[in-house]
Amino acid sequence: MSETKTHKIRDIFTEGPIAPAFIAESIAKHSTRHDIGAHEIFLGQVRADSTGGKFPAPTAAIEYTAYRDMANEQMIAIREEAFARWPITCLHVHHSQGVIKAGELCFFVFASSAHRQVAREAVAFVNDEVKKRLPIFGKEILEGGEHVWKKNV
Amino acid sequence: MDVLLFGLIAEKAGTDKLSISAADTSALKQALEQRIEGLSALSYALAVDRKITNGIVELNGSEEIALLPPFAGG
């Protein structure tokens, strides 16, 4: 799939979990790009954490909400930085909104390049910047119904 | 102006939008901390037109303001 270099606003948000079939389709779309030699993928999955202390029950799900307009604008900036730093062929980022159960996928970062090191570094960078810069909020719904607000550290 | 609220702050306020008039971000923060119980004790960022602001920024009333609790994406 060709990537425009103008970095238009695109909506990274998907309602509900990211389906493994969607990931497979995304990979398949790149078979026409014969300049690609490496794909690097990061997948975030909701973990049944226990925060301990006052709320020892494990996380049953995370309900994600976002300031979508700002998040999508921030993603354009991150995308531009990634393309400026690494010769990647393309970059795709998707994040869930809504209730995502433990074991389901909520985050998908996919970069492709001629050689593996470039795609690997770009994905690690995008992953870190998304966590730091995108206004996405997570309500951890615990087994038993209590909730706590997740924050990235 | 409309102030968009998210996550924990929307939960505390019981709404995801408040209408408040303020001449700058300092006055806005004071007004918000009076309107939303417990806000002053929380960690949050203020975004003006989808950019996080630090220090005092003058407002003309047409800006899009948002209160952002800690991020949890990724």
CA angle A7/A128/B51 to nearest 5° reads 60
Question: Quick one: pLDDT at residue A5?
Answer: 55
Average pLDDT over residues A105-120: 98
In this structure, what DSSP letter does residue B15 have? S
A11's CB contacts (< 8 A; 6+ apart) are A68, A72
Helices (H), B1-73: 7-13, 25-35
Average pLDDT over residues A23-51: 95
The reply to whether B48 touches chain A by the CB within 8 Å rule is no
Residue B37 structure tokens: 């119980």
CA of residue B42 relative to chain centroid, distance: 12
Nearest neighbour of B50 by CB, restricted to A73, A139, A149: A73
Single out the residue of A42, A32, A128 nearest to residue A78, CA to CA: A128
The reply to whether B57 touches chain A by the CB within 8 Å rule is no
Domains in chain A: ranges and CATH: 13-150 (3.90.1170.40)
Question: Quick one: pLDDT at residue A123?
Answer: 98
Q: Maximum Cα–Cα distance for chain A, whole Å?
A: 54
Rg, Å, chain B Cα set: 11
Residue of B nearest to A127 (CA): B74
pLDDT digits (tens, 9 = 90+) for B5-64: 999 999 999 999 999 999 999 999 999 999 999 999 999 999 999 999 999 999 999 999
Strand blocks (E) in chain B = 2-5, 17-19, 45-48, 51-53, 65-68
Strand, coil or helix: what is B20? coil
**Res A2 pLDDT > 50:** no
Residue B25 structure tokens: 């971000």
Going by pLDDT thresholds of 50, 70 and 90, the confidence category of residue A54 is confident
Into which CATH architecture does domain B2-68 fall?
Roll (3.10)
Q: How far is A31 from chain B (nearest CA, A)?
A: 27
Prediction ipTM score: 0.95
The domain ranges of chain B are 2-68
Amino acid in position A18: I
